[in-house]
Amino acid sequence: MKLIYGISSLFLIGFLGFNISENMETATNVLGSKLASCCTDPMTGYYRDGFCNTGMDDRGSHVVCAIMTQEFLDFTKAQGNDLCTPIPAYRFPGLKAGDKWCLCALRWREALQAGAAPSVVLEATHQKALQYIHLEDLKAHAVPSKSD
């Protein structure tokens, strides 16, 4: 099978379940502990494994585990990224308020600056998010952890 390389084919590889991320077993979250699952219903993550794992092929850095709000969904749609409409060809169910999803770090930061940032699950947010977002900002939007 010949693969045509590009963003769309890399995106498709993730949806097909090919695991090409780096060190998924040892991935850590923004708190420095083992990365927790973000969500499996709907199945999230760049690799559709339920985790906000990332790798060299994840150019969008889908590393922030966020709980969708209608305000954020409207904001991102206005930016050209409609997350509400299902895309069956990519096994994308479409999202609604209350769903958890691994967001691009830069989109979350953009939403923060616009006052539309959704809440985050710190235990399920990959440490790579800290390359784009201050930990203090993530903590300010964090949902209480299971141990709180």
Which DSSP string do the residues of the chain spell out, in sequence order? -PPPPSHHHHHHHHHHT----S-GGG-BBTTSSBPPP--BTTB-TTTTSSS----TT-TT-EEEEEE--HHHHHHHHHTT---SS-BGGGTB----TT-EEEEEHHHHHHHHHTT-PPEE-GGGSBGGGGGTS-HHHHHHTBPPPTT-
What is the per-residue pLDDT for 89? Answer: 86
At the top level of CATH, which class does the domain 29-140 belong to?
A: alpha beta
pLDDT by residue, tens only, the chain of 148 residues: 333 333 333 343 344 444 444 566 789 999 999 999 999 999 999 999 999 999 999 999 999 999 999 999 999 999 999 999 999 887 788 999 999 999 999 999 999 999 999 999 999 999 999 999 999 999 999 998 765 4
Look at residue 140 in the predicted model and tell me its pLDDT.
Answer: 98
